[in-house]
Every structure is written in C-alpha cells, then in structure tokens.
C-alpha cells in the first residue's frame, strides 16, 4: 500500500479523537460542578442548622418557633426540632444542586444548649 493510500484512510482520525476527548472532559467538568454544588449546599445547611439551634436555645420555651425563623432567614427549612430541657436539637434542609431528573435536598443537624 502506498503512503498516499494510508494517509487517506486515516483522514479524520484526529477529529474523532478530539471530539471524544472533549466529551470526556465535559462529563468530568459536569461531575466536578455537581460535587462542588453538593459541598456548598452541605455547608449552607450546616451553617443554617447551627444558627437555628443557637436561636432555639436562646429561649427554650419558644425554641422551635425561634429555630424555624432563623432557619427561614438562612434559606433553609426546619425539618425537625426537639427541645429537651434547655437543649435544642434541629434538623434543617436546603435545596441542593439542580439536576433534571430529581429534586435534591441536603440536610444537616445541630444541637445547642448550656455547656
């Protein structure tokens, strides 16, 4: 086979390789973006839970109401609240990263009370 025949057969091979690599890189980038979104949402949820627990522990008589207000002020929803004596335990959730096929929520728990 001549060199000219061999080069014609290989025409476009680099293009296919570049397109395949671009697809792989896009997939990796999307995965990293999703993981970054989950980490950000987890930190937001934990901060909201910590603040809600502290707000609830400030006055245990109205602890869950105060915790719900603080959670809402931090873009979180109060999922569970328990007051035992002067100790408040809360669980809050925040929306996670957007995915087309599922509603993702990230939750966190915190406890506050006298030391």
Distance, CA of 54 to CA of 34 (rounded, Å):
30
Q: Spell out the residues 6+ positions from residue 61 whose beta carbon is closer than 8 angstroms to its own.
A: none
Residue by residue, pLDDT tens for the chain (115 residues) are 555 555 677 777 888 899 999 999 999 998 888 889 899 999 999 999 999 999 999 888 889 999 999 999 999 999 999 999 889 999 999 998 887 778 889 999 999 988 7
Q: Are 49 and 90 in contact (CB under 8 A)?
A: yes
Q: Are 80 and 93 in contact (CB under 8 A)?
A: no
CA pair distance 10, 33, nearest whole angstrom: 36
């Amino acid at each position: 086979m001549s060199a000219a025949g061999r080069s014609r057969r290989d025409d476009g091979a680099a293009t296919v390789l570049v397109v395949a690599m671009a697809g792989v890189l896009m997939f990796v980038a999307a995965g990293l973006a999703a993981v970054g979104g989950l980490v950000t949402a987890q930190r937001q949820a934990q901060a909201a839970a910590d603040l809600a627990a502290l707000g609830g522990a400030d006055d245990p008589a109205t602890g869950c109401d105060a915790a719900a207000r603080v959670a809402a002020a931090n873009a979180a929803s109060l999922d569970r609240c328990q007051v035992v004596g002067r100790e408040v335990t809360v669980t809050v959730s925040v929306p996670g990263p957007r995915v087309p096929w599922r509603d993702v929520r990230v939750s966190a728990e915190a406890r506050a009370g006298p030391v």
